[in-house]
Amino acid sequence: MESNVFIGHHCPRCNTTVGTYASVGSVPTCPGCGGPLQAAPGGPQTQVLVNVVCGGCGSRFGMVSVVGGEAKCPSCGKNLKE
Ligand SMILES: [Zn+2]
Ligand SMILES: [Zn+2]
């Protein structure tokens, strides 16, 4: 299953900032109150995809980090989250 790691997200409900949060196949939620986490204001969202397989060419990637954009396959250019 696809897992994402969200970096620098914060919870607007209880004002908790989460440095690193791993989520498997779902929306990231606050470890404090269970509310939805949002990307921290003032900076681009950073996502690290772990153990993804490209749907275009089948390449496997142990870890792909993306800042402020979408993760694309370096081999064929397909969006890795599709
Ligand atoms: Zn919270
Ligand atoms: Zn590819």
Q: Is 55 exposed, middle or buried (0-12, 13-18, 19+ CB in 10 A)?
A: middle
pLDDT at 63: 84
pLDDT at 42: 60
**How far apart, in whole angstroms, are the C-alpha atoms of residue 52 and residue 68?**
18
- Ligand 2 centroid to 46 CA: how many Å? 21
- Ligand 2 centroid to 15 CA: how many Å? 38
- Ligand 2 centroid to 67 CA: how many Å? 19
12 contact partners, CB below 8 Å, separation of at least 6: 35, 38
pLDDT at 31: 82
pLDDT per residue, tens digit, the chain (82 aa), is 567 777 778 888 998 887 777 777 667 888 889 888 887 666 556 677 889 999 999 999 998 877 777 888 989 999 988 7
